Amino acid sequence: MKTALVIDIGHGFGIHMASALLRRGWHVRSLMPRSAIGSAWMSGIEYLTGDPRQAQHLARAADGVEAIVSGSPYLGPHELWPLAMAAADSGATLVLHDNLYARPKMSSSRGLDPTATLDHLIPDVQNPLRSAIEHGSRVILMRSGDLIGAHAPNGLLSQLLVDMPAGYRLYHPGGSDRVHTWANLPDVANATGRLLDHDSALPTYAAFDFPGYRLSFADLADTVRRASGRPVKLLPFGVNTTHPFAGFALHLRALRRAYPGDAATLPPLDGEQLRVTLGGSLPFTQLPAALIAAGLVDSVDQRELHWSYVESP
């Protein structure tokens, strides 16, 4: 049985990767402070106490593992060096997730594929990963748009979509026709788990784009309306807006500055190389079903939805 060490297992990419790997027959280990162990709720996980930011703690936890998965999409050199050192010492594959919209981000905005070199990464990220590879480790980078999924309370859509008594409010950062890329967390995790099952066949540095959903905020509002059977009001998100998460508006303003023309400046993530590598199919959940499973939308009648999920064994 293969063993994976999953860091930041309590939410987001980390918790979904742990779940995907457990389903695929992996033994999953997690390193977290003693104070957080009591709140750990996933069964089947081997919980170790320690600080994931400390190299010696990571080295102990990574002993004998085949993979080290980072659950955070916001990694700088201070976080990457201990992970890279632990991967190098254990010979494990290091798995990272990169958000297309992250600030600071790890990679450039050009399309990724398994033949990409480390040159597309920012220099501070290149160095620890290059060191890990030179010492016999392998690195998988999975890039996607903003994530949708349960146990992801800090996700962008959980801030923009607000359940009100009369329906939903959907706030858009820069126009209702603005195109944005999203990805369903369970789908991203399942695709990454499938890569790990056969990581020995991958290059020492393998970078992939996960396609997900690419649509305007107006189309997203229509999807929410169709899934819930309730009205959806589109509103601009500004610093002075009245909103339950008004402090988040500063982040949204930064997002508008960074990507004034989303569709023009960011590449569509077509995922063709990932599809080929996985044997011709990708995990895919229809967006209405993904929104409901994430707890973002309550369906008026889930039986009326046409759920679609495809995954190769």
User: What does the pLDDT read at residue 42?
Assistant: 73
| pTM attached to this predicted model | 0.86
At residue 306, what is the residue type? H
Q: Is 271 left (phi over 0), alpha (psi -120 to 50) or beta?
A: left
**What would the two tokens of residue 85 be?**
């050192």
* CATH class belonging to 3-147+184-209: alpha beta
Q: What is the pLDDT of residue 264?
A: 43
Segment 220-254, tens digit of pLDDT: 999 999 999 999 999 997 644 544 544 444 445 44
Hey, where are the domains in the chain?
A: 3-147+184-209, 151-182+213-266+284-310
The confidence score (pLDDT) of residue 265 equals 52
Cα separation, 98 vs 227, in Å, equals 29
SS (H, E, C) the chain: CCEEEEECCCCHHHHHHHHHHHHCCCEEEEEECHHHHCCCCCCCEEEEECCCCCHHHHHHHHCCCCEEEECCCCCCHHHHHHHHHHHHHHCCEEEEEEECCCCCCCECCCCCCCCCCHHHECHHHHHHHHHHHHCCCEEEEEEECEEECCCCCCCHHHHHEEEECCEEEEEECCCCCCEEEEEEHHHHHHHHHHHHHCHHHCCCEEEEECCCEEEEHHHHHHHHHHHHCCCEEEEECCCCCCCCCHHHHHHHHHHHHHCCCHHHHCCCCCCHHHHHHCCCCCCEECHHHHHHHCCCCCCCCHHHCCCCEECCC
Nearest residue to 183 (alpha-carbon basis) of 298, 294, 96: 294
Q: Are 181 and 213 in contact (CB under 8 A)?
A: yes
Same fold, 3-147+184-209 and 151-182+213-266+284-310: no
CATH of 151-182+213-266+284-310, one of 3.90.25, 1.10.1220, 3.30.70, 3.40.50: 3.90.25
pLDDT in tens, the chain (313 residues): 999 999 988 778 999 999 999 999 999 999 988 766 655 567 889 999 998 888 899 999 999 999 999 988 677 778 899 999 999 999 999 999 988 877 555 665 555 555 566 777 777 888 899 999 999 999 999 999 999 999 887 788 988 999 999 999 999 887 899 899 999 999 999 999 999 998 999 999 999 999 999 999 999 999 999 999 999 999 997 644 544 544 444 445 445 444 444 444 566 788 899 999 999 999 999 999 999 999 999 876 644 444 444 444 4
State the sign of the Cα–Cα–Cα–Cα dihedral 173, 176, 177, 179: positive
The token duo for 113 is 């594929």
Half-sphere exposure of 273 (CA within 13 A, CB side): 14
Please check whether residue 282 is in contact with residue 274, taking contact to mean a CB–CB distance below 8 angstroms.
Answer: yes
